[in-house]
Amino acid sequence: MMSGSEIPTTLLLLRHGETALTAEKRLSGSGGSDPALSEIGRRQAEAAAELLAARGAVHAVVSSPLRRCRETAAAAARRLSLQLRIDEGLLEADFGVWEGLTFAEVRERYPVEFAAWLESPAAVPGGTGESLDSVTRRVALSRDKLLARYQGQTVLVVSHVAPLRTLVRLALGAPPAALFRMELAAASVSEVAYDGNGNASLRLLNDTSHLR
C-alpha cells in the first residue's frame, strides 16, 4: 500500500471547447481577440464536465484566464462542486500579427518567419508574439507550483494547445519539435501523473470519447 508521499499527483489536461476561430482552424492566442465558446463549444464543455464528474476524485480546477477556458472550466467546476482558480501561466501563446490567420495563410504571407518558428523554439511568431521557449518557461513554473500545492491530489488544468502540448512534451522528455506532432482536439482530455520525485508518466492523450 502506498504512503501519502508515494501517491502520484495527477494533472488532467482539458483543452477548451470550440470557438468560431477553432472551427476555422485560425490561430487564437493571447494577443488577439478573446472569443467565447460557440454553441458547439458549450456542449463540448458540458460533455467534458460530465466525464470528469463521473471520474470523480478531482480536487482542484485551474484555468487559463482567457474566456474560452474560463467557460470550459466553469462547467467542470460546477459539476465537481469546486472553486475555479485562474493561473496566468496557462495562457495561450501570443501569435502577434499571425492572430486570426490559418497556418496556410501564415505560410503564404510570412514564409521565412513561419519556417523559422517551426525550426526554432526561440523564434518569435508574428514579430511581436511569444516564443515557444517563453511558453515553456512559464508553463513549467505553473506546473511546479501545482505539483507543490496539490501533492498527491488530482488537478484539472484547463488551457490551450501550446501550454498543454508543452506539458505533455516535458512529461515525455521530448524535443521541442514534438509540439507539432501531437493532436489535442477541442475539449480533449489528457492525463499526466507525477511521482514524488517529479518523474512524469503520460497516461492518456487526446481522449475525445465523451464527445461522440
Residue 169 inside a domain? The answer is: yes
For 125-183, the pLDDT digits (tens) are 988 999 999 999 999 999 999 999 999 999 999 999 999 999 999 999 999 999 999 99
pLDDT score, position 56? 85
Catalytic one of 71, 92, 99, 113: 92
Catalytic status, residue 24: no
Residue 9 inside a domain? The answer is: yes
Instruction: Give the whole-angstrom CA distance, residue 5 versus residue 22.
Output: 40
Residue 121 inside a domain? The answer is: no
Instruction: Give the whole-angstrom CA distance, residue 51 versus residue 54.
Output: 5
Q: Are 204 and 191 contacting, i.e. CB atoms less than 8 angstroms apart?
A: yes
pLDDT score, position 133? 98
- pTM comes to 0.95
How many separate domains does the chain show?
1
Residue with cell 504571407: 109
Instruction: Give the whole-angstrom CA distance, residue 1 versus residue 17.
Output: 38
Quick one: 198 exposed, middle or buried, by C-beta within 10 A (0-12, 13-18, 19+)?
exposed
pLDDT in tens, the chain (212 residues): 334 458 999 999 999 999 999 989 999 999 888 999 999 999 999 999 999 999 989 999 999 999 999 999 999 999 999 999 999 999 999 999 999 999 999 999 999 999 999 999 999 998 899 999 999 999 999 999 999 999 999 999 999 999 999 999 999 999 999 999 999 999 999 999 999 887 999 999 999 999 98
Residue 105 inside a domain? The answer is: no
Alpha helices in the chain (DSSP H): 20-23, 39-55, 67-80, 103-109, 111-119, 132-149, 161-172
| Of 205, 80, 206, residue with least CA distance to 153 | 80
Residue 113 inside a domain? The answer is: no
Evaluated on CA atoms 31, 35, 41, 47, the torsion sign reads: positive
Which residue range forms the structural domain that includes residue 86?
4-94+136-211
pLDDT score, position 5? 54
pLDDT score, position 83? 98
pLDDT score, position 160? 98
Phi, psi of 131 (to 5 degrees): -70, 160
Catalytic status, residue 160: no
Residue 68 inside a domain? The answer is: yes
Evaluated on CA atoms 125, 129, 133, 136, the torsion sign reads: negative
Residue 124 inside a domain? The answer is: no
Which CATH number goes with the domain that contains 48? Answer: 3.40.50.1240
Residue 205 inside a domain? The answer is: yes
